[in-house]
Structure 1
Amino acid sequence: MFFILRIVLFPITILLTCVVYIRNWLYDNGILKSTQPDVFTINVGNLNLGGTGKTPHVEYLVNLLSNQYKTSILSRGYKRQTKGFVLADNTVNAKTIGDEPMQYYLKFKDKIKVIVCENRVQGVNQIQATFPDNELVILDDAFQHRKIAPHLNLLLCDYNRPFYKDYLVPVGKLRDIRRSANRAHVVIVTKCPEEVSAQIKEEMKTSISQYTFANTPVFFSRIHYNAIASYVGDKAFISENPATVVTAIAKPEVFQQYLQKKGYKIEKARDYPDHFAFSRKEIDALLDTQNPAQQIITTEKDMVKIKPLLIEQELEKFFYIPIDVIISDKNDFDKFILSNAARAISKSI
């Protein structure tokens, strides 16, 4: 049945492929204009509809760069209820700037600026007009935003569903054609298992190189799950007690598999669409008022949306697991990013 459905949908994929190809051709040949900002810009993007791990990789770059350079993150603010340029401050929430920008703001606070603007060129220009000493902008998910030409394009490729084996929607999960990988200055294969053989790495590098320019570096990363944390900070999670898992992310099964592997007693799992806007209705359906020992586990991204909906006595039932990424050949990767940043920023001074 699935095979038949793919055959039926394939003409739509071919049509969309042609549309995307023509759009990219117009930009590549200067008929549609791309603008490279004066300030150094790094984009973290992908060819997929989602689920490649952009958020922890953006956070990795912030930790790498923000101690040396005055840094901003610019995101579209997907599914936010506002428009235009919005600077994150203590008045914003996930509804006004989006869940991922809200996570950035809560995590880094005054260390960096977090801004949302659907027009990335306008957003970068306004950042520089508002903060003239800003030295670097990290673009969150702007690989398909061709109006802006970043100085450095990081392309993320899911280890479990690499773009070179995938197709454009609706047959596959790509939102951009494979050959768009030639805009990448570096590729990171994400969500790898803990051990990846040298042979598999070389095979993947060879497959990726069919779509990138020669000598484009390829790195490999994996998700690292940190210790479970309480919404209220010091409440201890009791691993012997059952828990409910609540997610609104692209690939919830990966998170759930990790919890099961670690031995958590998961009695229920409730999955919502990626970027789902939680309301009190969902909270009331989750909470068991007759069970003071109830435990609910969420992702960090969902925590920033759920926590503001809770009253004080409900907070102690909720826990989340922060994540970050571990990059193989970390020293080489860091050196690549830092040297590109230093070279570009020194030229702009």
Structure 2
Amino acid sequence: MPSLLTLVLLPFSWLYATVMAVRNGLYATGIKPSTSFAEVPVINVGNLRVGGTGKTPHVAWLVNWLLAQGQRPAMLSRGYGRRTQGYRLASAADTAATIGDEPLQQWRHFQGSVPVAVCEDRTAGIRQLLRDAPATSTLVLDDAYQHRRVQPSFNILLTEQARPFYQDFVLPAGRLRERRAGARRADLVVVTKCEPTLSEAKRQEMTRCIRRYARPTTAVLFSTYEYGAPVPLAANAPAEGKEIVLLTGIAQPAPLREFLETAGYRIVQHARFSDHHTFSVAELEAVAAQLQPGQSVFTTEKDAARLREPALAAVVARLPLFYLPIHVRFLADGAVRLPELLMPYFQPHAVV
């Protein structure tokens, strides 16, 4: 049952949804052109909803799979939250301020071996990235589902188990960027952040709900998160303790909290900030002042990208600060079905 506030805001949502529907219609009819790229397959990973649905770890899973097939992938993102503009190819000199926290996280995750670029105009960005990295055999777009000027070869739509798009409303009454019918553009829908024990009956029920808006033949897969061992940000950090202060600037920290508590950690404090938050020295000093002997500070890999800003280096070096890597695991036969869906887009390459 929608809340009273949702009901009050629905007329504004209808207006916004109409504007977006007209825009999508212009692209669907060709009045507004979309560019496709014959040079390489372009795979887009995006969502209908504002906020974290798990794009970054799913992009990482996809890039790892492409590398295992002998492909030479490159990544392109808008670079949300950066203080620069235009096209920029990531390098060792970049920070979250110059390319955004998620592109920086990806560049560090793959240790610079996979080209990562940012550009608001994805069409121009793709063209420049293919010039800068001519060996690229596959291009992965991060969060370009509403960027209709590019026609991807394969469109992956993510939606969370706890907040599926078919139960949400368009902004401002809800968190959707466009109407639920936008799911029809998806070649694949992945339900993310699932309970690891999600039953087959529940998966079938969610699949039926998704296919009310997506195409009837659209594949629906389910994934969950697995967390890796804590990684220290400072080389001289002590071993992590079981009492922790949690420091986050992400949209949905609840799954991380649940994992930590299940793993036996006691969260004595949660310093929670908004998604993509730019941490300050004063905020980190405040966290440090509340630490008791033997306690550690835990954060996410995405937050760690922003905590590596040069201005924060001195205070970070003094903190027992750790991040937890996230890995995607597909439920049921998802890890087999996804490659089957993607393989027709690629020519075989020898693994180097």
TM > 0.5: yes
**Corresponding residue of 2:129:** 127
**Corresponding residue of 1:183:** 185
Tell me how far 1:239 sits from its aligned partner: 3.7
**Corresponding residue of 2:229:** 227
Deviations 1:244-285 (A, max 9, x none): 101000112222222122221111101111001112121122
* 1:333 counterpart = 2:330: no
**Corresponding residue of 1:78:** 80
Tell me how far 1:81 sits from its aligned partner: 0.3
* 1:52 counterpart = 2:56: no
Deviations 1:284-327 (A, max 9, x none): 22112885544111011101111331328835510111001001
Q: Which deviates further from its counterpart, 137-146 or 165-174?
A: 165-174
Tell me how far 1:85 sits from its aligned partner: 0.7
Counterpart CA distance in 2 for 1:314 and 1:228 is: 16
Counterpart selection for 1:89 from 71, 83, 91 = 91
Counterpart CA distance in 2 for 1:292 and 1:102 is: 32
Contact 2:297–2:319 (Cα < 8 Å) also in 1:
no
**Corresponding residue of 1:22:** 22
**Corresponding residue of 1:200:** 202
Matches within 5 A, 1:297-308: 297-308=298-309
The 1:315/1:176 distance shift into structure 2, 3 A limit, reads farther
**Corresponding residue of 2:260:** 259
Contact 2:237–2:321 (Cα < 8 Å) also in 1:
no
Contact 2:285–2:315 (Cα < 8 Å) also in 1:
no
RMSD of aligned alpha carbons: 1.9
Contact 1:43–1:142 (Cα < 8 Å) also in 2:
yes
Counterpart CA distance in 1 for 2:23 and 2:33 is: 11
1:97 maps to a residue whose letter is I
Structure 2: stretches of 5+ with no match in the other structure = none
**Corresponding residue of 1:166:** 168
Deviations 1:130-165 (A, max 9, x none): 222211110000000000010000001111111111
1:129 maps to a residue whose letter is R
Tell me how far 1:204 sits from its aligned partner: 1.0
Identity of aligned residues (%): 38
The 1:290/1:248 distance shift into structure 2, 3 A limit, reads closer
Contact 1:307–1:315 (Cα < 8 Å) also in 2:
no
Deviations 1:50-72 (A, max 9, x none): 21100000000110002411111
1:41 maps to a residue whose letter is V
The 1:52/1:146 distance shift into structure 2, 3 A limit, reads same
Matches within 5 A, 1:98-109: 98-109=100-111
Structure 1: stretches of 5+ with no match in the other structure = none
Contact 1:66–1:111 (Cα < 8 Å) also in 2:
no
Tell me how far 1:235 sits from its aligned partner: 4.3
The 1:91/1:113 distance shift into structure 2, 3 A limit, reads same
Counterpart CA distance in 2 for 1:178 and 1:266 is: 37
Q: Equivalent residue of 2:299, what SS?
A: strand
The 1:225/1:289 distance shift into structure 2, 3 A limit, reads closer
TM-score by length of 1: 0.93
Tell me how far 1:189 sits from its aligned partner: 0.7
* 1:319 counterpart = 2:322: yes
Contact 2:95–2:308 (Cα < 8 Å) also in 1:
no
Counterpart CA distance in 2 for 1:170 and 1:237 is: 45
Contact 1:230–1:316 (Cα < 8 Å) also in 2:
no
**Corresponding residue of 2:148:** 146
Matches within 5 A, 1:209-224: 209-224=211-226
2:347 maps to a residue whose letter is A
Counterpart CA distance in 1 for 2:271 and 2:315 is: 23
**Corresponding residue of 1:287:** 288
Deviations 1:63-105 (A, max 9, x none): 0002411111000000100001111111100000000000001
2:37 maps to a residue whose letter is P
* 1:4 counterpart = 2:4: yes
Contact 1:239–1:265 (Cα < 8 Å) also in 2:
no
TM-score by length of 2: 0.92
The 1:57/1:234 distance shift into structure 2, 3 A limit, reads farther
The 1:102/1:129 distance shift into structure 2, 3 A limit, reads same
Counterpart CA distance in 2 for 1:331 and 1:6 is: 40
Tell me how far 1:200 sits from its aligned partner: 1.0
Contact 1:43–1:150 (Cα < 8 Å) also in 2:
yes
